[in-house]
Amino acid sequence: MTADLTSPTGATAGAAPGGWTDRPTTPEGWVERARQVATTLAADAVQRDRALAVPTAEVQLLKDSGLVTLLGPVEHGGAGQDWTTALRVIRAVSAGDGSIGQLLGYHLLWFWAVRLVGTPEQVAAVEEQATKEQWFFGGAVNPRDADLVITDEGDEIVFRGEKSFSTGGRVSDVTVLEGVLDGTDKHVFAIVPTQQPAIRFKGDWDSLGQRLTESGGVVIDGVRVPWEAAAGYVRTANGWEFQPRVYNTLNVPLIQIIFANIYLGIAEGALATAATYTREKTRPWPYTPDLKETATQEFYILETYGELRSKLWAAEALTERAATLIEAINAHADTVTPEERGEAAVLIAAAKQVAIDTGLEIGTRVYDVTGARATASSVGLDIFWRNIRTHSLHDPVAHKRAEVGRYALLGELPEPTWYT
Amino acid sequence: MTADLTSPTGATAGAAPGGWTDRPTTPEGWVERARQVATTLAADAVQRDRALAVPTAEVQLLKDSGLVTLLGPVEHGGAGQDWTTALRVIRAVSAGDGSIGQLLGYHLLWFWAVRLVGTPEQVAAVEEQATKEQWFFGGAVNPRDADLVITDEGDEIVFRGEKSFSTGGRVSDVTVLEGVLDGTDKHVFAIVPTQQPAIRFKGDWDSLGQRLTESGGVVIDGVRVPWEAAAGYVRTANGWEFQPRVYNTLNVPLIQIIFANIYLGIAEGALATAATYTREKTRPWPYTPDLKETATQEFYILETYGELRSKLWAAEALTERAATLIEAINAHADTVTPEERGEAAVLIAAAKQVAIDTGLEIGTRVYDVTGARATASSVGLDIFWRNIRTHSLHDPVAHKRAEVGRYALLGELPEPTWYT
Amino acid sequence: MTADLTSPTGATAGAAPGGWTDRPTTPEGWVERARQVATTLAADAVQRDRALAVPTAEVQLLKDSGLVTLLGPVEHGGAGQDWTTALRVIRAVSAGDGSIGQLLGYHLLWFWAVRLVGTPEQVAAVEEQATKEQWFFGGAVNPRDADLVITDEGDEIVFRGEKSFSTGGRVSDVTVLEGVLDGTDKHVFAIVPTQQPAIRFKGDWDSLGQRLTESGGVVIDGVRVPWEAAAGYVRTANGWEFQPRVYNTLNVPLIQIIFANIYLGIAEGALATAATYTREKTRPWPYTPDLKETATQEFYILETYGELRSKLWAAEALTERAATLIEAINAHADTVTPEERGEAAVLIAAAKQVAIDTGLEIGTRVYDVTGARATASSVGLDIFWRNIRTHSLHDPVAHKRAEVGRYALLGELPEPTWYT
Amino acid sequence: MTADLTSPTGATAGAAPGGWTDRPTTPEGWVERARQVATTLAADAVQRDRALAVPTAEVQLLKDSGLVTLLGPVEHGGAGQDWTTALRVIRAVSAGDGSIGQLLGYHLLWFWAVRLVGTPEQVAAVEEQATKEQWFFGGAVNPRDADLVITDEGDEIVFRGEKSFSTGGRVSDVTVLEGVLDGTDKHVFAIVPTQQPAIRFKGDWDSLGQRLTESGGVVIDGVRVPWEAAAGYVRTANGWEFQPRVYNTLNVPLIQIIFANIYLGIAEGALATAATYTREKTRPWPYTPDLKETATQEFYILETYGELRSKLWAAEALTERAATLIEAINAHADTVTPEERGEAAVLIAAAKQVAIDTGLEIGTRVYDVTGARATASSVGLDIFWRNIRTHSLHDPVAHKRAEVGRYALLGELPEPTWYT
């Protein structure tokens, strides 16, 4: 996580963005930019999903649009935006393509990870280089695989093992590794160049949804990292030690609110796609005394759109409210208390589950308002249900509910874990 | 609506507030004040509800607490708060007693009505007198009864007829009358003293819920109002004429978002009351392999609280978001466009239906997490379901859904009616 | 449980039924008779419920109609019907008045209890006397109160203690007592005359619903029962011993399927009452482009009735299917296996939870299709929700779901308990 | 529909069934046979679905198992079963492969179609030949395409036009054609050999689910049929005329109850497949205070299986009940009244919608109880949701609900149409 990482992208600061000749200057501008990206992505999202196409061009689009450096410092060419905007951008991109929205969301989290756990020097160095060189981040950090073991070799540490899921894998420039120092319970994060012989992606991600997230397994066979690049570790009299603070544990609330925004974005995409179909193709039902001239006059169709739209707005409003807690925490990272962190985690857990319920319902019910012919594979309206259904299983929603319940009933805040 | 209305309360500015010796100075302070009022109300809400007790003391409590003049100008002793705060206050009071929350909500709307339809002179005069004298407003404006007919007698107009519902009736100081000028389609609003021989309340409100809202019928038998007090009417060459603007029609979105906040408040009350019961009285289920020591460890209880809490937060977040549109409109009342008004109406319609669905679900499911003995009449946990179930039928939620659906599917904004 | 019990009713066989001069001879005839009883009960069910009226006349109606001896041997004047018919009768009566349906259901269970646990001699004696004298059974058997202690005094046993709930209490002729023999884990059931100084009802049942079931507490202060009347106990070399068989444990599945039928009946009552209201009083909504002439043409009203009707039919069909398992078991009571008993219990648990979900939904949603004025207390449409909501908490539906889940997932049958 | 149709299968009576050397003799035996077929089909259902494989071998399996002639007369080698059994068989096969269940269901309907509309002579001839030669039926009868026009050429009629959907198409031996006699409103059905130059299948069925049903479009370019084979037409003084009776219109209730059984079967398959996965592969959640050793102890997993199992049993019980009405009608086909037909149609409409709701819920929620890794494409658990979601759109469930609602609210029976 220091600046001496050889450029993994080969890019240089100020690389000409493809297609766009300027950069937005306002939060609204960046969200609008994300919508443009989404429109581009939506055009062939179903086809790419079917083909399980490696999203190389799509990651390039994210780079060209400036979204990859959305959180990067302005002085290094980044957009300098905050997480309020970042979450809206993730949501907007997900409306066009849930997979690419996820790739962007995870990237932004890992881009931010150095802020969560790094030293001030590491933060400065990583943000500068990642921004200037437009790094796209992947990550091998799935915590339920305790399979990455780290050996301490003095000045360096060496990662060896496997992770079942490594989102962003083959399309990333750098990969965030997470492992446990052998013989200890010390977790170490480090950013390493993706292209190196010691990292081998299995390319085995073939799932129901979020198919273009490059989330397959990875084999790590001797990735060497200098201790200086171990995020947050500093040399002490007792060797390299990590200095914990509450803010370290914000990664889970942050990734969870990213999830919520991915689901909301996908659900938005579903509603918008369905509405276009209903307006353009759905026929009124001829075998009823309550005959209508167009499908858009059918009471049940209007009522269903109204109900789904209302629920989705509610889920979004709660997610936006949760984002204000994240923003408030980011404003004083060094002094955030466990209570603040816990309350954000609870509200985010709540937002996530409402987003999931709403998204799954929308994913299924859009067919009721589009009709039988909308099941043609050429329409591809199932991509939304598949995408939400797949990712929403990341951790069991029942346990998330219980977590919120412990707070609502007992006032208990969740203990930070890899999922809370 | 002019200042020459003889004081209907007999009160004078600066009347000593019972119990409270000071007034809050911040929005948060006013919401906290509302919570105190709610706590007081909750203590015997069930008993008063059963007894169908006329809420004279409760209206006095609203006056003493300062909530009745929440929207009144500071220079006349009012709190000078905005609708963002007013809606939160209505919600907070409704958590303690849905009926009193409704009385307050309607009162605040009618207090505001002169702003919506009155002339600048009427606004100034009414707000001053209503604030100084702590008027509590009732209203005989149910639009589905077209039974109040107005006769033009030159300098005065005279209201005669009936209204089926007149919330606040017997406990109000002033009553807002709404009628149609005979032989025309001109609607006229006027504020009149409630205590007068020409107004007779039937006292016939006996309903499933919201029982203490004094919503029974009223007979109006010759209430005389000078033309100067006809809200918004000005003398022209062609006689007294009303000068319409879009802001006139904000009454319906405003009352509808008040409704949503009443439901949310009641649902909050339900959750809080149930949680206390579960913690203090509910027993774990003994006939299961998954035995727990306390009910608060039962997974289904935690999961249910988590789910209900999450949904209610979502409904509240959407309602808060809708309130920002109301606030934005209030900031430029003279220039509000039909689009702004329509978009607020749609978002409020969405918020209301989510609030209703959530509230009804909570009202029913709180029993699942409290248990059989919580059905004892002495517990009275049903008051929440009854209150929401009753008021949520004000206008059919299916048509509200269709209204949102027309916007979501077709981009159509609702035409202003008495219910949209 | 022997024949020497002094007549607690003072009635004699063949007592003239009030109103009805004949007895049905077919199962269908008995269900039709139950419907007539329901119609009579429905006429003032809401008023009696409000008044918390002791259902003396209603129990007499059950006697006069012949329903009290529905399961009694034909040779003694009973109807000789089976449980298939009994459950339908309970359902039909519950549609008119859920409380009276529950009283009848519990009565029929306790009438049958001697078959479940008694000796052949006890069965013959009790069924003869109970039928001839039209006993109405109450019961002090709530198993979560382990408060009735039995002392063995040689030839007699003596019950002392309390039960929190004793359905049928003051309106019963005989009471089924359940207690534990002091110093042992032997449960003993006995039928005793209700009218005796040693039994004192507290009259403290005042609950949200099922208000006329006389389910208050009872104090038992020295009720003496000869050992011969201890159900199922026979004198052995080691003293009085109970001879267990699987059929003993059928009481719980039987009461649980009675519950399901009570809920279904109440839900039927709700739908029928609402439909009459919608047809006769509900007005179409005037503020919509999709204007109708009558409320019965409103699409959402038709759709809602269709959805609720369909769900209720499904719940009923499952309950009827479960009843066939009960009937099959009754056909070979002496040889019923734990598997048969367990499978019936599982299917009944399933039926009960579907009945509860459906009933609660109907109880709430009938208002959506009747409208705001249907909340008038004079309409009393809330009685259905209140009745189902109250009784459905008898044991936690979440645990019933888990019980069915254990079977569906693991093939495990529930261990017999007092609730399974 | 006469016996002179040249054998389209080339098969002869008594052809040796592949794999099975005997035929069941009881209804239970046939359902068990269907389960065996389902097990075979399930083994590669996901792979065949992905490959969009023409189900030639699967139709042969249906023939070999004897299911194709399930309704055929015993004297000609058929199983002679009734519709009660046929519907259970369709359900059982659908549990293994929804597409093949649909193929079988449609086949059996078309096999039966001659009974619904044919003359006694046609019935005898078709049933004999179809049974002896194991015809597999396809159909080009989608009524919303009014595109098949019939020309009367004296002794023959000639079909020309297109149908968008023709289930069974390429794998059928015979095809049922439906068209309108040019210049009249007379509908004519006829059975014709599938293999003929005048019938061309487009092979364009590529949909979200039910992918192996060969439901693509068909071009009919001059299929000639003698008048004698026009189902139900007889020569009269006025030419060939159809003799209508109520039983003609039973095709729609019959196909709709077939649909319901397909959905129920698919849902059964989903539950069973998920349960196996949960037992074998799902891991308990480690980040909770309520830690379990196995996933099968997780309360929410047990509760979810219990809830889904209960709902599915209810849907099945209602469908079975509806089937008894079909059976009752079949018992007196010549004298069935419009009321009987209408009541069956309503109950079937109810059953279908409950089956759809339940099936879609199961299709989505099975993932909650299997977990994230169950989304792997190799698992293929989505096939159930896709299959139900696709076929359940056949006609709008909202209108089916309204249809049941008209009966529940107003007592109105649906007018026979192509969808009611």
pLDDT in tens, A155-196: 999 999 998 888 999 999 999 999 999 999 898 999 999 999
Q: In 3D, which of C177, C186, C172 has the Cα closest to residue C140?
A: C177
> Which residues neighbour B44 within 8 Å (Cβ) at sequence distance 6 or greater?
none
Tell me the nearest-neighbour CA distance from C414 into chain D, angstroms. 13
Instruction: Find tokens 């581009």 and name the residue.
Output: A40
C-alpha A381/C-alpha D386 separation (Å) is: 11
C-alpha D54/C-alpha D211 separation (Å) is: 9
CATH number, position A392: 1.20.140.10
Q: For B40, list phi and psi in degrees, rounded to 5.
A: -60, -45
> B375 exposed, middle or buried (CB, 10 Å; 0-12, 13-18, 19+)?
buried
Q: In 3D, which of B123, B96, B133, B93 has the Cα closest to residue B7?
A: B133
Cβ(D122)–Cβ(D114) below 8 Å: yes
Boundary residue ending a domain (D245, D267, D293):
D245
pLDDT in tens, B324-354: 999 999 999 999 999 999 999 999 999 999 9
Cβ(D216)–Cβ(D204) below 8 Å: yes
Task: Report how far apart, in Å, the C-alpha atoms of C80 and of each of C26, C70, C73, D207, D265 are.
Answer: 10, 6, 5, 58, 40
Q: Compute the radius of gyration of chain D from its Cα atoms.
A: 22
Residues B126, B166, single domain; the answer is no
Structure tokens at A312: 């989705």
If contacts are CB pairs under 8 Å, which of residues 277-306 in chain B contact chain D?
Answer: 290, 297, 299-300, 303
C376/B206 CB distance under 8 A: yes
> Which residues neighbour A47 within 8 Å (Cβ) at sequence distance 6 or greater?
none
Strand partners of residue D233: D242
For residue B185, the model assigns a pLDDT of: 87
For residue A419, the model assigns a pLDDT of: 64
Cβ(C111)–Cβ(C56) below 8 Å: no
Q: Give the number of domains in chain C.
A: 3
CATH number, position C113: 1.10.540.10
Boundary residue ending a domain (B75, B104, B136):
B136
Q: For C268, list phi and psi in degrees, rounded to 5.
A: -60, -45
Written as tens digits, the pLDDT of chain C (420 aa) is 443 455 566 554 444 444 788 999 999 999 999 999 999 999 999 999 999 999 999 999 999 999 999 999 999 999 999 999 999 999 999 999 999 999 999 999 999 999 999 999 999 999 999 999 999 999 988 766 667 899 999 999 999 999 888 899 999 999 999 999 999 989 899 999 999 999 999 999 999 999 999 999 999 999 999 999 999 999 999 899 998 889 999 999 999 999 999 999 999 999 999 999 999 999 999 999 999 999 999 999 999 999 999 999 999 999 999 999 999 999 999 999 999 999 999 999 999 999 999 999 999 999 999 999 999 999 999 999 999 999 999 999 999 999 999 999 999 999 887 666
Q: What is the pTM of this model?
A: 0.96
Residues A240, A252, single domain; the answer is no
Structure tokens at A355: 């987003």
A207/D375 CB distance under 8 A: yes
Cβ(B315)–Cβ(B351) below 8 Å: yes
Chain C neighbours, 3+ Cβ pairs < 8 A: A, B, D
C-alpha C368/C-alpha C363 separation (Å) is: 10
Q: What angle do CA B112, B115, B117 make, to 5 degrees?
A: 110
Mutate to test the interface with B, among D291, D299, D300 (most CBs of B within 10 A): D299
Residues C124, C148, single domain; the answer is no
Q: In 3D, which of A301, C309, A275 has the Cα closest to residue D396?
A: A301
Contacts of D290 in chain B (CB under 8 A): 297, 299
Residue C11 included in any domain: no
Residues C305, C392, single domain; the answer is yes
- Chain C interface includes D333 (CB < 8 A): no
- Chain A interface includes D332 (CB < 8 A): no
Residue B16 included in any domain: no
Q: How confident is the model at residue B8 (pLDDT cuts 50, 70, 90)?
A: low
Structure tokens at C151: 């002392």
Tell me the nearest-neighbour CA distance from B296 into chain D, angstroms. 12
Q: Where are the alpha helices (DSSP H) in D366-416?
A: 383-391, 397-410
Question: What is the percent of chain C where pLDDT is above 90?
Answer: 88
Q: For B140, list phi and psi in degrees, rounded to 5.
A: -115, 75
**pLDDT at B4 > cutoff 50:** no
- Tell me which H or E stretch contains D137: strand D137-140
In A211-366 the beta strands, taken as DSSP E runs, fall at 218-226, 233-236, 239-242
Structure tokens at B76: 């006349």
**SS3 for C267-319, per residue?**
HHHHHHHHHHHHHHCCCCCCCCCCCCCCHHHCHHHHHHHHHHHHHHHHHHHHH
B206/C378 CB distance under 8 A: yes
pLDDT in tens, D40-77: 999 999 999 999 999 999 999 999 999 999 999 999 99
**Mean pLDDT in residue range A319-325:** 98
Cβ(D207)–Cβ(D171) below 8 Å: no
Residue C101 included in any domain: yes
For residue D8, the model assigns a pLDDT of: 61
Q: In 3D, which of B65, B71, B225 has the Cα closest to residue B154?
A: B225
Q: For D297, list phi and psi in degrees, rounded to 5.
A: -100, -10
Boundary residue ending a domain (C228, C245, C262):
C245
**Mean pLDDT in residue range A7-24:** 62
C-alpha C240/C-alpha B43 separation (Å) is: 55
Residues C355, C235, single domain; the answer is no
Q: In 3D, which of A417, A409, A360 has the Cα closest to residue A387?
A: A360
Cβ(B5)–Cβ(B191) below 8 Å: yes
Residue B172 included in any domain: yes
Crossing angle between the packed helical segments D338-365 and C299-330, to the nearest 10 degrees = 90
Instruction: Find tokens 């905007």 and name the residue.
Output: A85
Q: What angle do CA C249, C253, C254 make, to 5 degrees?
A: 95
Cα distance from N-terminal residue to C-terminal residue, chain C:
26
If contacts are CB pairs under 8 Å, which of residues 213-272 in chain A contact chain B?
Answer: 271
Q: How confident is the model at residue B7 (pLDDT cuts 50, 70, 90)?
A: low
C299/A297 CB distance under 8 A: no
Residues A323, A394, single domain; the answer is yes
Contacts of A299 in chain B (CB under 8 A): 398, 402
Residues A370, A282, single domain; the answer is yes
C-alpha C8/C-alpha C63 separation (Å) is: 14
Residues B213, B239, single domain; the answer is yes
Tell me the nearest-neighbour CA distance from C109 into chain B, angstroms. 21
Mutate to test the interface with A, among C294, C299, C304 (most CBs of A within 10 A): C299
Task: Report how far apart, in Å, the C-alpha atoms of B416 and of each of A411, B329, B336, B344 are.
Answer: 44, 16, 14, 12
Q: For chain C, what is the mean pLDDT?
A: 93
- Chain D interface includes A419 (CB < 8 A): yes
Instruction: Find tokens 């027309």 and name the residue.
Output: B406
C-alpha B78/C-alpha B100 separation (Å) is: 20
CA atoms within 13 A on the CB side of C45: 31
Tell me the nearest-neighbour CA distance from A390 into chain D, angstroms. 6
> Which residues neighbour C174 within 8 Å (Cβ) at sequence distance 6 or greater?
C5, C8, C130, C135, C136, C137, C138, C191, C192, C193, C194
Residue B415 included in any domain: no
C-alpha A154/C-alpha D215 separation (Å) is: 68
Residue D131 included in any domain: yes
Contacts of A397 in chain D (CB under 8 A): 368
Contacts of A308 in chain B (CB under 8 A): 408
Residue C357 included in any domain: yes
Structure tokens at B387: 């209150």
Residues A222, A257, single domain; the answer is no
Q: What angle do CA D119, D122, D124 make, to 5 degrees?
A: 110
D349/C310 CB distance under 8 A: yes
Residues C384, C273, single domain; the answer is yes
pLDDT in tens, C291-342: 999 999 999 999 999 999 999 999 999 999 999 999 999 999 999 999 999 9
Residue C343 included in any domain: yes
Strand partners of residue A221: A160
**pLDDT at B390 > cutoff 90:** yes
The boundaries of the domain holding residue A331 are 247-410
Residues A308, A182, single domain; the answer is no
- Chain D interface includes A397 (CB < 8 A): yes
Q: For C180, list phi and psi in degrees, rounded to 5.
A: -115, 130
Question: What is the percent of chain D where pLDDT is above 90?
Answer: 87
**Mean pLDDT in residue range A312-321:** 98
C-alpha D46/C-alpha D41 separation (Å) is: 10
Residues B173, B252, single domain; the answer is no
ipTM metric: 0.95
Q: In 3D, which of C196, C192, C222, C218 has the Cα closest to residue C205?
A: C218
pLDDT in tens, D158-202: 999 998 888 999 999 999 999 999 999 888 999 999 999 999 999
Q: For chain B, what is the mean pLDDT?
A: 93
CATH number, position D177: 2.40.110.10
- Chain D interface includes A49 (CB < 8 A): no
Cβ(D294)–Cβ(D344) below 8 Å: no
Cβ(A379)–Cβ(A270) below 8 Å: no
